[in-house]
Amino acid sequence: MSAPKLKAPRGTFDVLGEQASVRSALEASARAILEGAGYERIETPAFEATELFARGVGESTDIVRKEMFTFTDEAGRSLTLRPEGTAPVCRAYVEHGMHKRRQPVKLWYLSSFFRHERAQAGRYRQFWQVGAEALGSDDPALDAESIALLVELLQAVGVTGARLRLSSLGSAETRGEYRELLKSHLRANEGSLSEDVRSRIELNPLRAFDSDHEGTRRVMEAAPRLLEHLNDDDAEHFSQVRELLEVANVAYEVDSTLVRGLDYYARTVFELTSDSLGAQSGVGGGGRYDGLVEQLGGPPTPGVGWAAGVERMMLAGDLQPGAVAPVELFVAFEQPRSRRIAFGILAEARSAGLRAQMELGGRSPKGQLGYANALGAHYVAIVDGEATMLRDLEGGGRERIATDTVVHAVLRGLRTL
């Protein structure tokens, strides 16, 4: 009896062939756009101390409450597969003393993240995000630039008709005052709220705006709005972000019900959605997180950033797999005793910079030719001891030459094209 087949775990997937090629194209777009704007690549570990997310993302959030893959190491320390990238980047900013560099420090990543979710189209347990974080400045132009870069990335990967919703959550103090207002509104209407929202009135009343429960929605329509309670500084900051987005021709809608699922946001928040994605419509989102670095033990440091889902960008976009670079030389051989010589030519061709392959599957001479054709090889060298038949599959023609001149002949042939 054969061993049972194993499958990739629920909510995960393998990246193969065309998918891999589309991902490379997406990564190239992200790199060109973000590095062009002064963002440097950063990669943080796939797992971190659980405390980073508990403190950074917030105990009351869905992510920390129910979506984290957490485990204990041999020393009894609690570790968590990263569910998001902002807290780790801020941890790295503090750990490497990046506040001593010229500010703002701009960092981007393309990494995989892990959330224990109900797997469905566009929602996985291991997924990838492109993210951009800019730390060390509270200039509203940094918010506007960050948003404009996300919009540019979506355009570059062919996500058309995405909606940009924008709001401001104000400062921690305003939010504190506003929370009290909102809590009284929720308590006054407790009977109409969903179980989930009711149980979180104290913990996270703002999340009630995200609910799709009928009764809750009606209550929220009449709820006071944070945007109307911003202090003068925050209102001015928000109005400048908006003005700068207009200067950059970035279309947006102000949405006073927008609350993001992470606790660290202050001031600017935004989300991009695409109707072509169905129920999982979020393509990317982010905002300002001026208190986060300090909360993680660093100096008071403002920051703003976003993350966009790679799979959702691929679903909503129209990136095509890149063309595979053609094989310039395929090295075939008549007799098994010539395999050694063929292998030497392969090595020589590669050091000369040719895209070369050789027969590695034990095919007959005829089979080797068919294979070279299928690969779209330009030249095939059929090695037979000291002599080689060099065939130009693209231009036609064949020539019998000394085996040790094959690479030279191919280089000459390619150059004169």
Residue 47 burial by Cβ neighbours in a 10 Å radius (0-12, 13-18, 19+): middle
Which strands form 47-49's sheet, in the order they lie side by side? 47-49, 78-81, 70-72
Nearest approach in angstroms of CB 282 to ligand ATP is 3
Structure tokens at 414: 């390619």
DSSP assigned state of 11: T
Q: Which stretch binds ligand ATP (CB under 6 A): 117-125, 170-178, 293-301, 356-364?
A: 117-125
Identify whether the C-beta of residue 398 lies closer than 8 Å to the C-beta of residue 390. yes
- Binding characters for ligand ATP, 172-191, by CB under 6 A (x = yes): --------------------
- What is the rounded distance in angstroms from the CA atom of residue 105 to the CA atom of residue 305? 11
> Which residues sit opposite 387 in a β-bridge?
384, 402
58 near ligand ATP, judged by CB under 6 A = no
Q: Which of 104, 261, 298, 413 binds ligand ATP (CB under 6 A)?
A: 261
Q: List helix spans (H) across 122-231.
A: 140-156, 172-188, 195-199, 214-221
Nearest approach in angstroms of CB 62 to ligand ATP is 7
Peptide bond into 104 cis (omega under 30): yes
Structure tokens at 264: 């660290």
Nearest approach in angstroms of CB 126 to ligand ATP is 8
Q: Of 117 and 177, which has the nearer Cβ to ligand ATP?
A: 117
Nearest approach in angstroms of CB 41 to ligand ATP is 19
- What is the rounded distance in angstroms from the CA atom of residue 11 to the CA atom of residue 246? 40
263 near ligand ATP, judged by CB under 6 A = no
Q: Which stretch binds ligand ATP (CB under 6 A): 72-80, 197-205, 280-288, 338-346?
A: 280-288
DSSP assigned state of 190: G
123 near ligand ATP, judged by CB under 6 A = yes
Half-sphere exposure of 351 (CA within 13 A, CB side): 5
Q: Which stretch binds ligand ATP (CB under 6 A): 43-51, 100-108, 301-309, 381-389?
A: 301-309
Nearest approach in angstroms of CB 84 to ligand ATP is 6
Identify whether the C-beta of residue 12 lies closer than 8 Å to the C-beta of residue 114. no
- What is the rounded distance in angstroms from the CA atom of residue 143 to the CA atom of residue 306? 10
What single letter denotes the amino acid at residue 392?
Answer: D
Q: Which of 82, 91, 106, 115 binds ligand ATP (CB under 6 A)?
A: 115
268 near ligand ATP, judged by CB under 6 A = no
Structure tokens at 409: 């002949």
Q: Which of 39, 93, 124, 379 binds ligand ATP (CB under 6 A)?
A: 124
Contacts with ligand ATP: how many residues (CB under 6 A)? 19
Q: Which stretch binds ligand ATP (CB under 6 A): 283-291, 332-340, 374-382, 404-412?
A: 283-291
Q: Which of 52, 283, 345, 377 binds ligand ATP (CB under 6 A)?
A: 283
The two beta strands, 356-358 and 329-333, are: parallel
Q: Residues 67 to 96: which contact ligand ATP by CB under 6 A?
A: 84
Residues that bind ligand ATP (CB under 6 A): 84, 115, 117, 122-124, 127, 129, 261, 280, 282-285, 307-309, 311-312
